[in-house]
Amino acid sequence: MRKPLIVGNWKMNNTLQESLSLIEGLISNRLSVDRDFVVCPPYTVLSLAGKLLKETKIQLGAQNMHFEEKGAYTGEVSALMLKELDVSYVIIGHSERRKFFGETDLQISKKIFTALNNELLPIMCVGESLAQREGDYHHRIIKKQLVEGLKLVDSSRASDVTVAYEPVWAIGTGKTATSEQANDMLGFIRTILINLYGESMAENIRILYGGSVNSSNVDELMIQPEIDGVLVGGASLKSDEFLKIMTYSDRG
Ligand code: PEP
């Protein structure tokens, strides 16, 4: 049985002070032990967040890392540096990294490999653009991103990877994929994972949906059989809104 996973991606938002009040708002509440929760602040906040989240139900994630272990890569951060700050998860291949920083499937595959070697749990993002969906080749795009991005992950490590399907046209736009569109694509992703790793291993891999998730649409998404959790951007920046998402369907 896969445990639901709720992830907040703060992107390039929140100073230390803003982060402090956001995290304090999140940890002052009782959270279900049957779900996993992760927040991914910017690098500058990881140290503080690691201290505040210790002994809580919320785990710490980073938004990116370099694929090399160390070296002359000005401005970059390594997996080991993240581990030192009590980071457990790392988002890899977010569409904003692909779009604004030219990240390729090859780089993404190396990052996933290095993350796993350093005992970080990668959250691998895949997603098609609006033109690709309207051209009806979105399945081909997702398959390519998955196969190329996972090519350095063998089946013994596959269950440590989480896949997040985030259609680019739904990120930060207020347009969510319908729960059926999301469920269909996640089912398709599962069949690719089964082809890559076999049924019993692929059954352990969590697949999330991301793209304009908020407290009003999370219940409908989370009742879909293929959806194991959500990756949330904008709506994770306010503690009351993110708490409503974290407690989906528990609210009376
Ligand atoms: C994201 O950043 O991964 C994301 C899904 O953003 P938003 O929820 O704001 O669409």
Residues marked active site are found at 94, 166
- Give residue 29 CA to ligand 1 midpoint distance, Å: 23
**Which atom of ligand 1 is nearest to 11's Cα?**
2
- Residue 28 has what pLDDT? 87
- Residue 126 has what pLDDT? 98
Residue whose C-alpha is closest to residue 22's, from 30, 11, 10? 10
- Residue 199 has what pLDDT? 95
Q: Residue 182 carries which side chain, given as an amino acid letter?
A: A
Can you tell me the distance from the alpha carbon of 134 to that of 250, in angstroms, rounded to the nearest whole number? 36
Scan for tokens 């350093």, then name that residue: 118
Is the Cβ atom of 213 under 6 angstroms away from ligand 1?
yes
Decide: helix, strand or coil at residue 97. helix
- Residue 252 has what pLDDT? 54
- pLDDT, one tens digit per residue, over 100-124 is 999 999 999 999 999 999 999 999 9
Residues of the chain whose pLDDT is less than 50? none
Cβ distance 236 to 245 under 8 Å? yes
Question: Kind of pairing, strands 206-210 and 58-62?
Answer: unpaired
Is the Cβ atom of 234 under 6 angstroms away from ligand 1?
yes
For the domain bounded by 5-246, which CATH number is listed? 3.20.20.70
- Residue 177 has what pLDDT? 86
Residues shown for the chain = 252
Can you tell me the distance from the alpha carbon of 38 to that of 24, in angstroms, rounded to the nearest whole number? 14
**Which atom of ligand 1 is nearest to 212's Cα?**
10
Domain limits, the chain: 5-246
Is the Cβ atom of 96 under 6 angstroms away from ligand 1?
no
Q: How many CB atoms lie within 10 A of CB 83?
A: 16
